Amino acid sequence: MRVGDAARQVGTSARMLRYAEQLGLVAPARTAGGYRDYGERDLAAAAFALELQARHRVTPAALAFGLRALEDPEVAGSLRRLAQLRRGPDPATALDFETAKARRLLRLAS
């Protein structure tokens, strides 16, 4: 499915889908002619990203950074250190909870 049709199906604009692709939130295949070809998994990822943005009132860039923090131990460690420096609650507990929750949600979306 091309980007315009995919955007209509998930309730956003083609421009926002392209932006989500730039951020790594979706990764549609490309046709031989270079057009984006959205499959069911891409549509599910796009719809879920929109749901997370609305539910948690975050930007697509914030979601992309969250994914990076889940996937990159160095980023996760840096965020834990920042939380320690700000003298907040134990960051490991909050981050571990959010990481586990995100992994459960990703499994459900698969």
Q: What is the pLDDT of residue 31?
A: 94
In the chain, what are the domain boundaries?
3-109
Q: What is the pLDDT of residue 93?
A: 64
Q: What is the pLDDT of residue 62?
A: 94
Burial group, residue 21, by CB count within 10 angstroms (0-12, 13-18, 19+): middle
Cβ–Cβ under 8 Å, residues 107 and 70: no
Cβ–Cβ under 8 Å, residues 45 and 25: yes
Helix (H) or strand (E) holding 67: helix 60-71
Q: What is the pLDDT of residue 91?
A: 55
Distance CA 106, CA 39 (A): 17
| 3-state SS class at 23 | helix
Distance CA 5, CA 8 (A): 5
pLDDT tens, N- to C-terminus, the chain (110 residues)? 999 999 999 999 999 999 999 999 999 999 999 999 999 999 999 999 999 999 999 999 999 999 999 999 999 999 989 988 887 666 566 667 777 787 888 887 76
Q: What is the pLDDT of residue 89?
A: 60
Tell me the CATH number of domain 3-109, given options 1.10.1660.10, 3.90.660.10, 3.30.450.20, 1.10.540.10: 1.10.1660.10
